[in-house]
Amino acid sequence: MDTKKHYKMYKNGKQWCYAAIATVSVAVGIFTGSTAAQADTTPAQPAVATQQTNNASSSAMSSSVASTSAQLSSVKTWQPADAQMQKATANADNGNHAYLDNVDVSNGSLHLSGWNASNQDQGKNYHYVIVYDQTQHRELARQAVQNTERDDVQNAYQGVYNAKYSGFSADFNIDSSAYLNDTLQIVSRYSASESGNSNYVDYWFNPINLNKRGYYIDSLKQTEAGLKVSGWMIDSQSYSKHNAYVFLMRDGKEVARQHVILMPRHDVARAYKDVYNSANSGFNVTFNVDPYQLTGNLQIMMRFTDDVNGNGNFSDQYSKVYTTNAGYTDNFTVQGNHIHLSGWHAATNAQGMDHQFIIVLDMNNHELYRTELTAGQKNLSRNDVAKAYPWMSNANVSGYSVDIPLLDSMQHKGLKIVHRYSTSADGNSNYVDFWDNSHSVNSGWQGDHYYDPTTGRMATGQTNINGQTYYFDNNGKLMSRQQEAVNRALSVRGTRYVWGGNTPAGFDCSGLVQWAYGLDGGHRTTYTQETLGAHHYDVYNAPVGALVFFGSGTAPYHVGISLGNGTYVHAPEPGDVVKVTEMRYYQPTFYVVM
How far, in Å, are 4, 23, 104, 250, 540 from residue 49 at the CA level? Answer: 29, 31, 19, 47, 83
pTM of the model: 0.64
Q: What percent of the chain has pLDDT above 90?
A: 73
Q: Where are the alpha helices (H) located in 295-444, listed in sequence order? A: 383-388
What integer pLDDT is reported at residue 169 of this predicted model?
96
Say how far apart CA 349 and CA 45 lie, in whole Å. 60
* pLDDT band at 467; cut points 50, 70, 90: confident
Residues 474 and 485 reside in one and the same domain: no
Kindly state whether residues 240 and 358 are assigned to the same domain. no
CA dihedral 557, 563, 566, 569 (to 10 degrees): -40
Examine the pLDDT at 76 and tell me if it is beyond 70. Answer: no
Q: Identify the pLDDT of residue 3.
A: 38
Longest dimension (CA), the chain: 129
Q: Tell me: the pLDDT tens digits for 88-146?
A: 444 568 899 999 999 998 888 999 999 999 999 999 999 999 999 999 999 999 999 99
Helix (H) / strand (E) containing 102: strand 96-106
Q: How far is CA 313 from the centre of its chain?
A: 29
Mean confidence (pLDDT) of the chain? 86
pLDDT tens digits for range 237-291: 999 999 999 999 999 999 999 999 999 999 999 999 989 999 999 999 999 999 8
| Residues composing the chain | 594
pLDDT band at 468 (very low <50, low <70, confident <90, very high): confident
pLDDT in tens, 374-413: 999 999 999 999 999 999 999 999 999 999 999 999 999 9
**Sorting pLDDT into bands at 50, 70 and 90, what band is 73?**
very low
Q: Three-state SS for 154?
A: helix
pLDDT of residue 35: 28
The phi and psi torsions of 500 (rounded to 5 degrees) equal: 80, 0
> What is the pLDDT averaged over residues 173-179?
87
Residues 205 and 93 placed together within one structural domain of the fold: yes
The segment with the largest mean pLDDT, out of 8-22, 71-85, 345-359, is: 345-359
Considering the domain architecture, whether residues 61 and 198 belong to the same structural domain is answered as yes
Which one has a higher pLDDT value, 179 or 29?
179
- Domains contained in the chain, number: 5
Burial 323-356 (b: 16+ CB within 10 A, else e): ebbbbebeebeeeeeebebbbbbbbbbbbebebb
Average pLDDT, stretch 30-35? 28
Question: What is the sign, positive or negative, of the torsion defined by CA atoms of 472, 476, 478, 483?
Answer: negative
Same domain, 149 and 256: no
pLDDT for residue 324 is more than 90: yes
Using only C-alpha atoms, the chain has a radius of gyration, in whole angstroms, of 43
Query: Is the pLDDT at 186 greater than 50, yes or no?
Result: yes
> Please, are residues 449 and 457 in contact by the beta-carbon 8 Å criterion?
no
Beta-bridge mates of residue 450? 445
- Report the pLDDT averaged over residues 312-322: 96
User: Please, what's the b/e burial string for 470-507 (b: 16 or more CB within 10 A of its CB; e: otherwise)?
Assistant: bbbeeebebbeebebbbebbeebeebebeeebbeeebb
* DSSP code for 309: T
Q: Which residues contact 143 (CB under 8 A, 6 or more apart)?
A: 4, 28, 29, 128, 129, 170, 171, 172
Cα–Cα–Cα angle for 287, 293, 297, rounded to 5 degrees: 90
Strand ranges of the sheet holding 590-592, from the earlier edge strand across to the other edge? 579-582, 567-570, 556-562, 547-551, 590-592
pLDDT beyond 80 at 594? yes
According to DSSP H, which parts of 183-317 are helical? 266-271
DSSP at 171: E
Residues 461 and 509 in one domain: no
Are residues 8 and 18 in contact, defined by beta-carbon separation less than 8 angstroms?
Answer: yes
Exposure string of 136-164, with b = 16+ CB inside 10 Å and e = fewer, is: bebbbbbbbbbbeebeebbeebeebbbbb
Report whether 583 contacts 567 (CB < 8 A): yes
Query: Residue 260 has what pLDDT?
Result: 98
Q: How many CB atoms lie within 10 A of CB 405?
A: 11
d(CA 212, CA 215): 11
Cα 148 from Cα 145, distance rounded (Å)? 9
3-state SS, residue 88: coil
Query: 251 — phi, psi (to 5°)?
Result: 50, 40
Residue type for 429, please? S
Same domain? For 306 and 332 the reply is no
Distance CA 398, CA 394 (A): 6
Q: Are residues 35 and 168 in the same domain?
A: yes
State the DSSP H helix or E strand holding residue 257, giving kind and residue range, or none if neither.
strand 253-260
Question: How high is the pLDDT of residue 106?
Answer: 81
More confident residue, 361 or 479: 361
Task: Give the pLDDT score at 93.
Answer: 82
Percentage of the chain beyond pLDDT 70 is 85
pLDDT of res. 445: 86
* 62 pLDDT above the threshold of 70: no
In which order are the strands placed within the sheet that holds 167-173?
A: 96-106, 109-118, 167-173
pLDDT band at 471 (very low <50, low <70, confident <90, very high): confident
pLDDT band at 172 (very low <50, low <70, confident <90, very high): very high
- pLDDT at res. 15: 38
Same-domain pairing of 144 and 17:
yes
pLDDT confidence of residue 470:
82
Same domain as 177, residue 32 = yes
| 310 and 337 in a common domain | no
Looking at 323, 356, 371, which one is the last position of a domain? 323
Predicted local confidence at residue 478, as pLDDT: 85
Position 7 scores a pLDDT of 42
Measured distance CA(349)–CA(297) in Å, rounded? 12
Q: Per-residue pLDDT for 369 more than 50? A: yes
Enumerate residues 6+ apart whose C-beta is below 8 A from 301: 246, 247, 248, 249, 316, 317, 318, 319
Q: Which domain holds residue 79?
A: 2-209
Is 53 found in the same domain as 141?
yes
Residue 67 has pLDDT above 50, yes or no: no
**What CATH number does residue 238 fall under?**
2.60.40
Pair 348, 222: CB distance under 8 Å: yes
pLDDT score recorded for residue 461: 86
End-of-domain residue from the set 442, 469, 502:
442
Domain boundary among 209, 238, 270: 209
- 125: amino acid identity, one letter: N
Q: Which pLDDT score is estimated for 487?
A: 92
